[in-house]
């Protein structure tokens, strides 16, 4: 068992606590100042605490507070060279974190699907075998350069929100066509899940897979022609670019720090 802790058990921290716990390979100390946040993860943690020094006893310590709180947490956190600090905050450079700790520092951009162990994470830094195994325990990860963190933040960190939006758009269209909301949401969400599994496991490109769904003279080609004639791809690209831009703005706050 790897002794892990998560400082900050809000939306992202609680997803990490839950996923790590469900993997069965970790003990998890959940740390937050908010007792309601701790109560919400009590069933998925070995211990809940408001005391950061308890969280500092783990081998792998996640700092999962908002970017503007990271410095205050680092000030309090005392770790040694045989520990690993995993920073998940958007825009916070590895170098900034390293200046505050003796621990090895790994920066990752996780996403909310850690909760179901389907996380897509981008990771940068010197990843030990233990950290690689930990990331595998809660999903898939890609190793990237620190300079690529802003675009990864937009694609896989913010990405679930963009996908929820698209699933909801498909659901609303189904409801408008006469399905009830629950049926439509199940069909839309499972379709995203199945399509995602297919593109991950299949050697064919997105274009080839679209072609596989489009039966000659069938239904799909009619819908695809609407999408190809629309600016839907540009809207997605603009959303990613806006999130990337914000990540760079957050990072700029640490330039002189
Ligand atoms: N949400 C997401 O999908 C993703 C978030 N991230 C990153 O994760 C981090 C957290 O984001 P998110 O989960 O959305 O934010 P939340 O506000 O939901 O969670 C942060 C939690 O940290 C708690 N907290 C604040 N100060 C302390 C402290 N000193 N010690 C312990 N806990 C504290 C907060 O309590 P209180 O509310 O009482 O202040 C809150 O429960 C951010 O840096 C973000 O960039 C990365 C990828 C995805
Ligand atoms: O919106 C945010 O700032 C965080 C980082 C990526 C996802 N959520």
The residue among 111, 144, 177 that closes a domain is 144
Distance 90 CA to ligand 2 centre (A): 6
CATH number of the domain enclosing 240: 1.10.3730.10
Question: Looking at the domain assignment, is residue 255 inside a domain?
Answer: no
Asked if 100 and 22 sit in the same domain, the reply is yes
Distance 149 CA to ligand 2 centre (A): 12
Tokens (6 digits) for 135: 């990331």
ipTM: 0.99
Asked if 126 and 232 sit in the same domain, the reply is no
Q: Which residues form the pocket of ligand 1, taking CB atoms under 6 Å from any ligand atom?
A: 7-13, 31-34, 37, 64-67, 69, 72-73, 88-90, 109-112, 157
Distance 14 CA to ligand 1 centre (A): 9
Place of tokens 């100390």: 29
The kind and range of the H/E element at 3 are strand 2-7
Asked if 170 and 231 sit in the same domain, the reply is yes
The residue among 92, 111, 144 that closes a domain is 144
Residue ID of nearest Cα to ligand 1 atom 43:
89
Residues in the chain: 257
Asked if 106 and 27 sit in the same domain, the reply is yes
Asked if 125 and 9 sit in the same domain, the reply is yes
Residue ID of nearest Cα to ligand 2 atom 1:
158
Angle at 247 between CA 165 and CA 168, to 5 degrees: 5
Q: Is 156 in the pocket of ligand 2 (CB under 6 A)?
A: no
Distance 64 CA to ligand 1 centre (A): 5
Write the DSSP symbol of residue 10: S
Question: Looking at the domain assignment, is residue 251 inside a domain?
Answer: no
Q: Is 63 in the pocket of ligand 2 (CB under 6 A)?
A: no
Q: Which residues contact 253 (CB under 8 A, 6 or more apart)?
A: 67, 68, 91
Structural contact between residues 113 and 94, judged by C-beta atoms closer than 8 angstroms = no
Site to substitute for ligand 1 among 5, 6, 10, most atoms within 8 A of C-beta? 10
Distance 38 CA to ligand 2 centre (A): 21
Domain count, the chain: 2
pLDDT tens-digit profile, the chain (257 residues): 999 999 999 999 999 999 999 999 999 999 999 999 999 999 999 999 999 999 999 999 999 999 999 999 999 999 999 999 999 999 999 999 999 999 999 999 999 999 999 999 999 999 999 999 999 999 999 999 999 999 999 999 999 999 999 999 999 999 999 999 999 999 999 999 999 999 999 999 999 999 999 999 999 999 999 999 999 999 999 999 999 999 999 999 988 76
Q: CB count, 10 Å around CB of 223?
A: 12
User: What domain range is 191 assigned to?
Assistant: 159-245
Nearest-atom number in ligand 2 for the CA of 67 is: 3
Q: Is 158 in the pocket of ligand 2 (CB under 6 A)?
A: yes
């Amino acid at each position: 068992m790897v002794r892990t802790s998560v400082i900050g058990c809000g939306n992202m921290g609680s997803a990490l606590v839950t996923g790590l716990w469900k993997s069965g390979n970790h003990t998890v100390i959940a740390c937050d100042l908010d007792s309601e946040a701790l109560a919400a993860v009590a069933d998925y943690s070995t211990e809940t605490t408001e005391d950061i020094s308890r969280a500092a006893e783990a081998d792998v310590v996640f700092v999962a507070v908002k970017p503007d709180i990271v410095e205050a947490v680092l000030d309090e956190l005392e770790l040694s060279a045989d520990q690993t600090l995993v920073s998940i905050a958007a825009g916070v450079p590895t170098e900034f974190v390293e200046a505050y700790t003796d621990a090895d520092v790994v920066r990752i951009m996780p996403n909310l699907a850690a909760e179901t162990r389907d996380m897509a994470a981008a990771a940068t830094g010197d990843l030990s075998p233990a950290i690689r195994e930990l990331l595998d325990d809660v999903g898939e990860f890609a190793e990237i350069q620190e300079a690529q963190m802003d675009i990864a933040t937009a694609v896989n960190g913010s990405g679930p929100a963009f996908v929820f939006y698209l699933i909801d758009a498909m659901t609303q269209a189904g409801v408008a066509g006469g399905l009830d909301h629950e049926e439509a949401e199940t069909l839309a969400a499972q379709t995203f899940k199945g399509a995602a599994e297919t593109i991950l496991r299949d050697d064919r490109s997105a274009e080839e897979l679209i072609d596989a769904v489009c039966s000659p003279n069938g239904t799909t080609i009619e819908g695809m022609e609407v999408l190809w004639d629309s600016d839907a791809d540009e809207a997605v690209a603009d959303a990613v670019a806006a999130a990337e831009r914000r990540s760079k703005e957050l990072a700029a706050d640490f330039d002189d720090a």
